[in-house]
Amino acid sequence: MPTQLEATMVLQNGMHFRGSAGSGHAISTDYPMGSPTSAGSTPLELLLMSLAACSGGSMAVLLRKAKQQVGGIEVRATGKRRDEHPTCLTDISLEFVLRGERIDPSAVQQAMTLSEQHLCPVWAMLKGSTRIEASFRIEGAGAHAM
Give 26-58 pLDDT, tens digit per residue.
999 999 787 778 899 999 999 999 999 999 999
Note the pLDDT of residue 144: 42
Note the pLDDT of residue 36: 78
Mean per-residue pLDDT, 132-141: 92
3-state secondary structure the chain: CCCCCCEEEEEEECCEEEEEECCCCEEEECCCCCCCCCCCECHHHHHHHHHHHHHHHHHHHHHHHCCCCEEEEEEEEEEEECCCCCCCEEEEEEEEEEEECCCCHHHHHHHHHHHHHHHCHHHHHHCCCCEEEEEEEEECCCCCCC
Q: What pTM value is reported for the model?
A: 0.91
Note the pLDDT of residue 141: 57
Domains of the chain are 1-36 (no CATH), 43-139 (3.30.300.20)
Note the pLDDT of residue 34: 77
pLDDT at 11 over 50: yes
